């Protein structure tokens, strides 16, 4: 008798979101590169971005492909209507070295990306992996835009905090980035709330290594600030860099109403926040590229 296949656990409803496919790799990579490039953390991690923007774009595309293929990740995108003004907001960060046709004004395009990581023991392992593609052939990136020492120190610090605060069965919001042209439209909140609903269903903690800008999004949504840190500047990046780790605890564990309904809890939270539209500073600096985790 063949082994019984494991039934995937249920998913939160997806309102205005969808799972990324291999067809999204180029555009999602551009969104990550553009969003990351205008955040303060880029000066620490990518001080040579303006000299080698093509390296940043390639690294971002590689990170998107990895998330789509991985058994330990889920990658969602949010779409909006194309605004031709987006090229002006990228300030030369994303190179015009591609042969992609520009979208038509008003055409639906990817404007935000989020990636969640799951522990190896998570019931979500393998649920979202897409290994069939077709996938583009991406060159091995030279990462000339990055300063290796800063990248290593930054990632080591975040890894240290995740090991300290994330339980063995928890999940992590590894990537959240919104294209700067499409800030102040609630896209960041929509993506984060999907992950919170997933944590509620699975009853697993959700941890985020957050930028200072990201705190303005996560804390009003119910995330607890656990620890903050700062690295002083040097001759490469005089301003230094700072970060935080926050945690969202599943709602049933916090003594919710008697019915314990995930939908009830999320609806109540949404009502409290209905007059708040996150964007601008709230969405700034929420990005990731090839292991450079800035949320």
pLDDT digits (tens, 9 = 90+) for 160-173: 999 999 876 789 99
Q: To which H or E segment does residue 112 belong?
A: strand 108-118
Helices 25-37 and 53-69, axial angle in degrees (round to 10): 130
Please tell me the predicted confidence (pLDDT) of residue 99: 52
Share of the chain above pLDDT 90, in %: 66
How many whole angstroms separate alpha carbon 249 and alpha carbon 66? 27
pTM reported for the whole predicted model: 0.83
- Does residue 7 belong to any structural domain of this protein? no
Please tell me the predicted confidence (pLDDT) of residue 77: 98
Mean pLDDT for the stretch of residues 86-107: 72
Please tell me the predicted confidence (pLDDT) of residue 7: 74
Does the pLDDT value for residue 98 go beyond 80?
no
- Does residue 246 belong to any structural domain of this protein? yes
- Does residue 4 belong to any structural domain of this protein? no
Distances in Å between the alpha carbon of 26 and those of 39, 61, 90, 94, 116?
Answer: 21, 6, 16, 12, 19
Mean pLDDT for the stretch of residues 138-149: 93
* Mean pLDDT score of the chain: 84
Domain extent, residue 77, equals 17-135+144-294
pLDDT digits (tens, 9 = 90+) for 202-211: 999 999 999 9
Mean pLDDT for the stretch of residues 170-180: 95
- Does residue 9 belong to any structural domain of this protein? no
Please tell me the predicted confidence (pLDDT) of residue 275: 31
- Does residue 245 belong to any structural domain of this protein? yes
- Does residue 63 belong to any structural domain of this protein? yes
Share of the chain above pLDDT 70, in %: 79
- Does residue 5 belong to any structural domain of this protein? no
| Residue 160, number of CB atoms within 10 A of its CB | 13
pLDDT digits (tens, 9 = 90+) for 7-24: 788 999 888 899 999 999
pLDDT digits (tens, 9 = 90+) for 273-282: 333 333 333 3
- Return phi, psi of residue 175, to 5°: -145, 130
Domain count, the chain: 1
Instruction: Give residue 120's pLDDT band: very low, low, confident or very high (50, 70, 90).
Output: confident
269 closest CA partner among 211, 190, 185:
190
Checking DSSP bridges between strand 206-210 and strand 171-178, what pairing results, if any?
A: parallel
> Which residue did the predictor score with more confidence, 76 or 102?
76
- Does residue 99 belong to any structural domain of this protein? yes
Three-class secondary structure of residue 215 per DSSP: helix
Does the pLDDT value for residue 289 go beyond 70?
no
* CATH number of the domain where residue 194 is located: 3.40.630.30
């Amino acid at each position: 008798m063949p082994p019984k296949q494991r039934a995937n656990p249920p998913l939160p409803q997806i309102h205005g979101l969808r799972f990324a496919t291999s067809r999204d790799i180029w555009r999602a990579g551009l969104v990550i590169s553009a969003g990351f490039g205008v955040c303060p953390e880029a000066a620490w991690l990518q001080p040579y971005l303006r000299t080698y923007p093509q390296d940043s774009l390639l690294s971002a595309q590689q990170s998107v492909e990895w998330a789509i293929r991985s058994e330990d990740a889920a990658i969602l995108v949010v779409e909006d209507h194309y605004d031709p003004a987006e090229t002006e907001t990228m300030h030369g960060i994303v190179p015009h070295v591609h042969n992609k046709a520009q979208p038509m004004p008003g055409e639906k395009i990817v404007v935000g990306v989020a990636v969640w990581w799951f522990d190896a023991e998570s019931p979500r392992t393998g649920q979202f992996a897409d290994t069939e593609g077709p996938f583009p052939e991406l060159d091995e990136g030279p990462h000339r835009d990055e300063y290796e020492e800063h990248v290593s120190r930054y990632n080591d610090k975040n890894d240290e905090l995740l090991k300290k605060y994330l339980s063995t069965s928890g999940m992590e919001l590894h990537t959240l980035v919104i294209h700067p042209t499409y800030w102040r439209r609630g896209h960041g909140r929509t993506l984060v709330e999907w992950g919170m609903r997933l944590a509620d269903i699975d009853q697993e903690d959700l941890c985020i290594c957050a930028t200072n800008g990201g705190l303005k999004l996560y804390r009003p949504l119910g995330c607890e600030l656990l620890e903050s840190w700062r690295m002083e500047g040097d001759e490469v990046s005089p301003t230094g860099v700072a970060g935080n780790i926050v945690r969202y605890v599943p709602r049933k564990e916090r003594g919710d109403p008697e019915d314990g309904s995930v939908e009830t809890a999320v609806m109540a939270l949404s009502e409290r926040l209905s007059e708040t539209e996150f964007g601008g500073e709230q969405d700034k600096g929420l990005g990731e590229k090839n292991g450079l985790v800035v949320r």
